[in-house]
């Protein structure tokens, strides 16, 4: 029997007893159980879905002390951050509960018949949505609550009427199992099938790939590396019946800082940006990995201020030894590609020191290696000669979860061009603040062009996340009894 070992992030010591890896047969059983639970859950009312989601939120909060302590052991993210993340996770669950209760998943468009010949005349049509089916959900390393067992993917899928099979992340195995235990208690208390939410764990084709390939699975949701997400997307597309795969992948999140603003707020912005680069040891999908500056005295002064502020940061241990090694390898890769280090200090085996480098815009545009994400407290300054070259830099990035534009408050030809350039490559454009931190709101868009996500039309955060797991259906000349359902399941 294969086993999995969890580790204390701060020391690398083994944490707890080894856990059994899910066998291929158990993967199949979890997917089959989700498939068996689908019909009844797809037909559930908004009130039933809301009751489950609120029960899951309450269960999380009831075990807060134990969950946060365990998460801190496995991730080193600290109790303040983890308590805040648990609050966000409960908030997400309750927000989707409210949406389910309001009937968001049952919204419909009524298009009455128009007499006469086409194209003006047409039969009566109603457009509504149905749930896709069981969802394979792959937990993220860096958000052990908000993008894990009861994270936004699970919450939005359940609100849409879809069962979920969660693939636990190896970086917080014991936490995932403890949360899953709470899930099973809530399901049992509400008389719901245990297969409505399943959990599998382990690596390789025996687990994650097998889950995506299982015929009962109707969609995939993933947060992680570009390489891992691309491999799973390929599996989802290669099935006899391909399924949608919603992957939130790598992103370098450019920050463009214009000279006029740096002249008046440079020191303040440098401190803010340094904190964002080092936040969570840089383990955010929205961490600012690229800073685009136009050459000049204001930008040079800003770099000096950023160097000082970043050197004063003390990132905590990374989530896993593998991520720590990958960070060092990524930094070395940037330097080998031609990035000139400005701040590079040795860290320890668990916690790295911040890394800052610089490169000419022409080199950044020409070399793919300079545009690769380094997961950790790292950022590269890109020196541009003009706004036109800044736009070339953004175009070279190609796709990003975010672009931040500092100094675009005044309407001009240049700022309009920068806004167009930013919107062309990003799912979210910021004009103040920093990209780390993604609000759960109605207007949020967390997803952008490749390589930041596999489906740039969708979001993995915010109210619209539910749309990923719903499929539109048109009902033509439907009988009166069916129309009376008002979009609700039959």
What's the distance, CA 140 to chain centroid?
8
For residue 216, the SS3 value is coil
Phi, psi of 356 (to 5 degrees): -135, 135
Residues ≥6 apart with Cβ < 8 Å to 424: 394, 395
Neighbours of 379 (CB within 10 A): 28
Using CA atoms, how far residue 158 sits from 53, 134, 359, 456, in Å, is 8, 9, 46, 22
Please tell me which residue in 74, 129, 285, 350 is annotated as part of the active site: 285
Please tell me which residue in 85, 248, 298, 350 is annotated as part of the active site: 248
Judge whether 47 and 101 are in contact, CB under 8 Å: yes
Q: What does the alpha-carbon distance between residue 107 and residue 129 come to, in Å, rounded to a whole number?
A: 7
Using CA atoms, how far residue 336 sits from 21, 222, 330, 341, in Å, is 38, 31, 10, 11
The pairing of strands 164-167 and 135-138 is parallel
Q: What does the alpha-carbon distance between residue 271 and residue 274 come to, in Å, rounded to a whole number?
A: 5
Tokens 């969570």 map to which residue?
Answer: 280
285 is catalytic: yes
SS3 of 365-397: HHCHHHHCCCCCCEEEEEEECCHHHHHHHHHHH
The conformation of residue 240, written as its DSSP 8-state character, comes to: S
CA-nearest of 253, 252, 273, 254 to 262 is: 273
Q: What does the alpha-carbon distance between residue 363 and residue 336 come to, in Å, rounded to a whole number?
A: 13
Residue 384, beta-bridge partner list: 294
Q: What does the alpha-carbon distance between residue 148 and residue 89 come to, in Å, rounded to a whole number?
A: 9
What's the distance, CA 69 to chain centroid?
24
The secondary element (H helix, E strand) that includes residue 40 is: helix 24-42
Residue 131, beta-bridge partner list: 470
248 is catalytic: yes
Question: Would you please indicate which residues are annotated as catalytic (active-site) residues?
Answer: 248, 285
């Amino acid at each position: 029997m294969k086993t999995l070992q969890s580790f204390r992030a701060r020391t690398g010591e083994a944490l707890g007893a080894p856990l059994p890896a899910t066998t291929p047969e158990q993967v199949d059983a979890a997917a089959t159980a989700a498939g068996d639970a689908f019909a009844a859950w797809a037909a559930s009312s908004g009130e039933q879905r809301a009751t489950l989601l609120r029960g899951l939120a309450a269960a999380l909060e009831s075990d807060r002390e134990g969950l946060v302590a365990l998460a801190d052991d496995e991730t080193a993210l600290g109790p303040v951050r983890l308590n805040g993340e648990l609050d966000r996770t409960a908030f997400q669950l309750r927000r989707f509960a409210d949406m389910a209760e309001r009937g968001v998943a049952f919204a419909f468009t009524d298009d009455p018949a128009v007499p006469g010949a086409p194209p003006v005349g047409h039969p009566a049509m109603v457009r509504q949505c149905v749930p896709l089916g069981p969802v394979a959900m792959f937990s993220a390393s860096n958000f052990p609550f908000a993008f894990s067992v009861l994270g936004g993917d699970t919450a939005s899928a359940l609100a849409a009427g879809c069962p979920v099979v969660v693939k636990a992340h190896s970086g917080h195995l014991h936490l995932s199992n403890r949360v899953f235990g709470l899930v099973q208690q809530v399901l049992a208390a509400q008389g719901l099938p245990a297969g409505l939410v399943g959990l599998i764990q382990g690596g390789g084709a025996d687990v994650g790939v097998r889950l995506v390939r299982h015929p009962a699975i109707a969609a995939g949701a993933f947060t992680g590396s570009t390489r891992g997400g691309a491999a799973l997307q390929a599996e989802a597309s290669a099935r006899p019946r391909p399924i949608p795969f919603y992957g939130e992948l790598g992103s370098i999140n450019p920050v463009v800082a214009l000279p006029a603003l740096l002249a008046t707020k440079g020191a303040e912005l440098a401190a803010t940006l340094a904190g964002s680069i080092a936040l969570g040891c840089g383990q955010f999908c929205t961490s600012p990995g690229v800073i685009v500056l136009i050459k000049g005295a204001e930008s040079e002064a800003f770099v000096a201020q950023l160097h000082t502020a970043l050197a004063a940061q003390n990132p905590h241990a990374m989530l896993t030894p593998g991520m720590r090694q990958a960070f060092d390898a990524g930094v070395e890769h940037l330097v080998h590609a031609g990035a000139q280090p400005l701040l590079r200090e040795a860290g320890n085996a668990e916690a790295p020191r911040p890394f800052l480098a610089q490169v000419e815009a022409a080199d950044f545009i020409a070399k793919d290696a300079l545009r690769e994400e380094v997961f950790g407290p790292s950022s590269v300054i890109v020196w541009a000669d003009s706004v036109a070259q800044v736009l070339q830099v953004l175009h070279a990035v190609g796709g990003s979860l975010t672009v931040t534009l500092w100094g675009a408050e005044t309407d001009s030809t240049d700022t309009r061009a920068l806004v167009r350039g930013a919107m062309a490559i990003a799912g979210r454009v910021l004009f103040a603040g920093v990209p780390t931190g993604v609000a759960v709101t109605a207007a949020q868009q967390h997803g952008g062009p490749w390589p930041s996500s596999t489906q740039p039309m969708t979001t993995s955060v915010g109210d619209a996340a539910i749309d990923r797991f719903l499929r539109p259906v048109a009902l033509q000349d439907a009988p009166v009894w069916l129309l009376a359902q008002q979009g609700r399941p039959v």
